[in-house]
Amino acid sequence: MGLLELKDTTIKFGGLVAVDSVNLRVNKGAIHALIGPNGAGKSTLFNLITGIYKPTSGNIHFEKKQIDGTPTFKLTSLGIARTFQNIRLFDDLTVADNVKIGTHVRTKQGLLGALTRFPTQNKEEKWITEKVKEELNFMKLYDKKDEFAKNLSYGDQRRLEIARALVSDPKIILLDEPAAGMNPQEKVTLMSLINLIRERGITVFLVEHDMKVVMGISDIVSVLDYGKKIAEGTPTEVKSNEDVIAAYLGAEYLKAHMN
């Protein structure tokens, strides 16, 4: 069953075609990876899905509803969450406060509730506290809840971004290079966590350059090159695809990393 579908999706920036007539389906419950050389259009495609860009042509559907051009905050409330290639945290807020920010799409009390302290406000604040604790424990960060985000290691900051995305109760989470900057042990932990995210019923769509991560956790791998989808299949099928080897992986890379 297709949870997220792109149909002939294209975006042009002047004379540059950054994403070129891409057809792609992410099935519900899958871990789906998107790979390709630098500049292939991977992050641009994520920006199209999350409403930062609007397609020049084609369309995007989520749960059979057309969403291209929908504002990002509305997409979050529909169940689409993401992280970014360049970490976007509030450096001078604590770990817990960074995650609290992600709950805003699931809360209803506003300024009036905060001023009057109605029982519904207190109930909602309790839910926020419990939800933040749940996600920080899940991402193995609860013991650092009172630290400032800027003081975390790079790997912990990456996991904090994921925790902030998860607290919005997404149906799908888009992870843009989640393993970037992580050491080998952190990558092993990340792979385990991504599998656990899927076990929670959340579909995972990730862009990643680390092929050991991609091949180790993905059900399906799609490959972009110069904005076009050139291959798609299981990790085994993709890593033996001649077009993929020529465009991205290379025979020497395969020899060093895939055995």
**What is the mean pLDDT of the segment spanning 175-181?**
92
User: Please, where are the H alpha helices in the chain?
Assistant: 42-49, 72-78, 95-101, 111-116, 119-138, 154-166, 184-199, 211-217, 235-239, 242-244, 251-257
Distance CA 118, CA 120 (A): 5
Q: How confident is the model at residue 246 (pLDDT cuts 50, 70, 90)?
A: confident
Reported as type and span, the H/E element at residue 93 is none
* pLDDT tens for each residue of 42-63: 999 999 999 999 999 999 999 9
Q: Is the pLDDT score of 105 beyond 90?
A: no
* pLDDT tens for each residue of 18-30: 999 999 999 999 9
pLDDT on residue 57: 96
Domain 29-185+192-201+210-257 grouped into CATH 3.30.1360.170: no
Per-chain mean pLDDT for the chain: 88
Question: What are phi and psi for residue 205, nearest 5 degrees?
Answer: -125, 115
In the chain, where are the structural domains located? 29-185+192-201+210-257
Q: Is the pLDDT score of 235 beyond 80?
A: yes
- Tokens 């839910």 appear where? 127
**What is the mean pLDDT of the segment spanning 65-83?**
91
Alpha carbon 87 to its chain centroid, in Å, reads 12
pLDDT on residue 189: 92
Q: What is the dihedral of CA 9, 13, 14, 18, to 10 degrees?
A: -60
pLDDT on residue 242: 85
Q: How confident is the model at residue 176 (pLDDT cuts 50, 70, 90)?
A: very high
Q: How confident is the model at residue 13 (pLDDT cuts 50, 70, 90)?
A: very high
Q: Is the pLDDT score of 196 beyond 90?
A: yes
* pLDDT tens for each residue of 106-165: 555 554 454 455 566 667 788 788 999 999 999 999 999 999 999 999 889 999 999 999
Percentage of the chain beyond pLDDT 90 is 69
**What is the mean pLDDT of the segment spanning 192-200?**
96
- Tokens 């997409």 appear where? 75
Distance CA 227, CA 20 (A): 5
Q: Are 177 and 87 in contact (CB under 8 A)?
A: no
pLDDT on residue 111: 44
